[in-house]
Structure 1
Amino acid sequence: MSQSLDAREKPGFWDEATTQLKGRDRILKKLIPRHESEWLGPSTTPFVTLARAIVGHQISVKSADTMWKRFTEACGRHPSPRSVIEAAETDISHTGLSKRKAEYILDLAVHFSEKKVVPSRWQTMEDEAVVAELCSIRGIGRWTAEMFLIFNLQRPDILPLDDASLLKAISLHYFSGEPVSRFEAREVAQAWAPWRTVATWYLWRSLDPACVRY
C-alpha cells in the first residue's frame, strides 16, 4: 500500500520492527534506511483489497495498476460487491480482466453480498484461520490470502513464500542472484521473525520503487 508521512498512519509495530531488523540482518541494515520515511500504509475495504489482489496476481505492478484502473472505470472508483455484480449483468469483460479473473471477482462479490463471509471477524482471528476461510472462496489461494493479511489486516509476521518478487529479492541480496528455493527463503527469513511482513515489504521496495497497493 502507498505510504504516508503521517505517523498516525504508521503501523504501531513498524518502528520496533525496523530497529530490530537493522540490528539482525546485514542486508536489511542497508535497505531500510533508503525508505525510512515510508511504511506500509492503511488499506481500503476488505472487498477492494481482495479484488485488487486477484487482479494483480502473477502480473507486474505496472500491469496490475493499469488493469485495476480499467476495472474501476467499469465498476466505480471504489468498487463494491453490488457494483461488480451490476457490471457482470452487462459484460464484466469490459473491465479488461481475463475471463477467469472476472469470474473470480464476481464470485468474491457474491460471497460478500450474500454474507457468506463476515469480514469483521477476521480482525480477531489467527492468521491461518483467516487464510483457510479466504481460500474457501473460488479464485483465492494462499498468496492472495497472505496479501490480505499484510495489506488489510497489517499482520506483522507474514512470509509469502508463493510471492515471486520476494523470492527474487532474496535470491538477489542473499544468494548472489542464484535461484532460491522456498526452503532456503524460509531459512533466511527465520532471523526476521516476528517481523517478516516488514522485511518482505523492504525487499519488495528494493526491486521496485513503486509501492504495491492492495
Structure 2
Amino acid sequence: MDTRMDAQQQQQALAIRQHLIDTQAGIERFLLTQPLLVPLQPSAIHPLQAVPRIVIRQMLSLKASNTIIARAEAKAAEQGVSGIADLSELDLISCGCSRAKAATITRFAESYYRYPDDIDNWQQLDCETLLKTITSHKGLGLWTASIVAMFHFAHEDLFPLGDSSLRKAVSLLGEHGVILVPERAAPYRTYLASYLWQLLDQARI
C-alpha cells in the first residue's frame, strides 16, 4: 500500500485509475506504470498564500518557479511580512517575477485586504462559479483559476484544455494509438490531467 494513503484512500485511488482506463482507449499500459494518485483533499493554505505561488509557476519550469518562490519567501521573511503577497511589485521583480506577474500578485493582495470575505468565501463556491470568480481578478486567467480549483480546493473534474503540457501529452499519446477523450473521464478529469503531467515529468511519453 502507498504509505501516503490509508486503505479507503487506496481503494478510491484504484477505482479512479480504473475509471480512466475504462474510458480512455489504450491508456492502460501507461497508467499502470505510474504510482497511484492520492485522492485530492482541500488545502489548509489560505488563497492569499496559494495564489501568488500558482501565478509564479505559470509558464515556468518547476525548477525556475521554485527558485523564484524561494527568493520571494526569503525576502518576505527578511522584511517581516506574512508572505509573498505582501511584497511590493519591485520586490517581486527583484526575486525574478515578470512585471505582469508581480502586478497580478500585488493587485490580488490589495483586493483581498479590501474585501477579505469575498475570497474567504471561495471554498463555498461550486466549480463553475469559482472559476468565474477567480478570473474576474485582473491577471488571473483560466489556467490559474483551474489550478486553484483542482489542487487548492480539490475539485476533481477539471481538464484545463488551454494547458500546453496537456495538449502535448494528448498529441504524444495519440502517436502511440491512445485516443484521449477527456469528457469521458468525468467525474475524474482532474486525475486524468494529473496522470498526464506525471507521464510528461517522467518522460514516459
**TM bin (shorter chain):** 0.7 to 0.9
Q: Using the TM superposition, name which of 16-25 and 152-161 deviates more.
A: 16-25
Cα distance, 1:149 vs. partner? 0.9
Per-residue CA deviation, residues 118-154 of structure 1 (Å, 9 max, x unaligned), is: 3442233221110111111121011100011111111
Does residue 68 of structure 1 match 2:69?
yes
Show structure 1 runs of 5+ residues with no match.
Answer: 178-183
Aligned counterpart, 2:110 = 110
Matches within 5 A, 1:66-105: 66-76=67-77, 83-84=83-84, 86-88=86-88, 91-105=91-105
Q: Does 1:138 align with 2:138?
A: yes
Residue aligning to 1:204: 197
Secondary structure at 2:27's aligned position in 1?
helix
Which amino acid letter does the alignment assign opposite residue 149 of structure 2? L
Aligned counterpart, 1:51:
52
Structure 2 distance, partners of 1:11, 1:111, is 40
- For the Cα contact (< 8 Å) 1:14–1:198, is it kept in 2? no
How far did 1:198 drift?
0.6
Q: Is the 8 A contact 1:5 1:38 kept in 2?
A: no
The secondary structure found in structure 1 opposite 2:20 is helix
**Runs of 5+ unmatched residues, structure 2:** none
Matched residue, 2:38? 39
Question: How far apart are residue 114 of structure 1 and its match?
Answer: 2.1
One-letter identity of the residue aligned with 2:70? K
Relative to structure 1, is the Cα distance of residues 27 and 112 closer, same or farther in structure 2, using a 3 angstrom cutoff?
A: farther
Partner of 1:25: 24
Aligned residues: 197
Q: Structure 1 residues 72 and 12 mapped into 2: Cα distance closer, same or farther (>3 Å)?
A: farther
Aligned position for 2:5: 7
Report the alpha carbon displacement of residue 193 of structure 1 after superposing the two structures with TM. Answer: 1.3
Q: CA RMSD in A?
A: 3.2
* Preserved CA contact (<8 Å) 1:25 1:191: yes
Q: What TM-score do you get using the length of structure 1 for normalisation?
A: 0.77
Question: CA 1:190–1:37 in 2, change beyond 3 Å: closer, same or farther?
Answer: closer
Classify 1:72/1:10 alpha carbon distance in 2 versus 1 (closer, same or farther; 3 Å): farther
- Counterpart of 1:142, as a letter, is L
Q: C-alpha deviations, 1:49-107, integer Å up to 9, x for none?
A: 21111101112222222222222222249x97x54465318733222111111111111
Q: Percent identity?
A: 24
Distance change in 2, residues 1:85/1:204 (3 Å): closer
State the AA in 2 paired with 1:155. Answer: H
Contact between 1:143 and 1:163, CA under 8 Å: does it hold in 2? yes
* Residue of structure 2 equivalent to 1:181: none
Distance 2:125 2:70 in 1: 32
Going from structure 1 to structure 2, the CA distance change for 1:76 and 1:13 (only over 3 Å counts) comes to farther
